[in-house]
Amino acid sequence: MFEIVFDNAKIFKDCIDALVTLIDEGEFQITKEGIKLRAMDPSQIAMVDFVYPKSALEKYEVPAETKLGMNLDDLSKVTSRVRAGEKLTLKMDKNGSRLDLIFKGKTTRRFSLPLIDVAGTTPKQPKIEFDSKVKINGFTLKEGLKDASLISSHVVLKVNKEGFTIEAQGDKGEVLIEAKKDDDVLLEHTVNAEARSMYPLEYLNDLLKTTDNEAVVMLDLKTDNPLRIEYPIGQATIVYYLAPRIENA
């Protein structure tokens, strides 16, 4: 049976927060390379692809690949109880029907959560040849999307030679946020072709909710194609794909 130790339990909490924002339940794959989870949200508008590499774990004893179906709502309540400086051990309980989470700090706290059957199959990773890529400061991106939320429920993201823009319009007016190619907040900016697509703000705000203000968020775009969002959580990586809303011609 496996035993996995996170030196800093807080990082695992942040990962679960980033998953539960999209899906209520999910199946972790405990593989030779690390912990993985890939799933679509119930409305099939967004996908998450999560990898926590073995190399980032203090201990990773996995004799055989295992699948762990979990209620992520319940799991996130438990991981939210983490305290500063705690280690976290994951292992199966004695009779193999529950996952033990053991937090070790000033006290020892053991939670045992039941495994569940998760319906459906693991989705495939989309194959998209993106036209442009930006790396942007997490705070700037999140706040720009909140600006846009005052005006509309959808936002147009655009990358061209000048930089990256967030735009929205509606009955209440118009908003345009520009991060120009030389602005400090735009950390990388690669344009093969201009890309411009509309996305739902509710999803974008949710997907970036747990992003650290100082995190570097990578966005890959292609006109009228899914948006790829990637950011690190410690040494783990979260990738989301978000379907575009095709604007009326």
Which residue ranges make up the site for a copy of itself (CB under 8 A)?
A: 74, 77-78, 81, 83, 98, 106-114, 137, 140, 143-144, 146-147, 150-151, 172-180, 183-185
CA–CA gap between residue 157 and residue 163 (Å, rounded): 11
**Least CB distance to a copy of itself at residue 148 (A):** 10
Q: With residue 154 as reference, give the H or E element that holds it.
A: strand 154-160
| Residue from 210, 54, 226 nearest 142 by CA | 210
Residue nearer to a copy of itself on the CB measure, 33 or 74 = 74
CB of 93 to a copy of itself, least distance (A): 8
Give whichever of 128 and 177 is closer to a copy of itself, judged by the CB atom.
177
CB of 137 to a copy of itself, least distance (A): 8
Helix (H, G, I), strand (E, B) or coil at 132: strand
What amino acid occupies position 229?
A: I
| Residue among 46 and 157 whose Cβ is closer to a copy of itself | 157
For the CB of residue 1, give the shortest distance to a copy of itself in the complex, in Å: 18
Identity of the residue, 129 or 184, whose beta carbon is nearer to a copy of itself in the bound complex:
184
**Residue 93 to residue 112: CA distance in whole angstroms:** 7
The torsion of the CA quartet 89, 93, 97, 98, rounded to 10 degrees, works out to -40
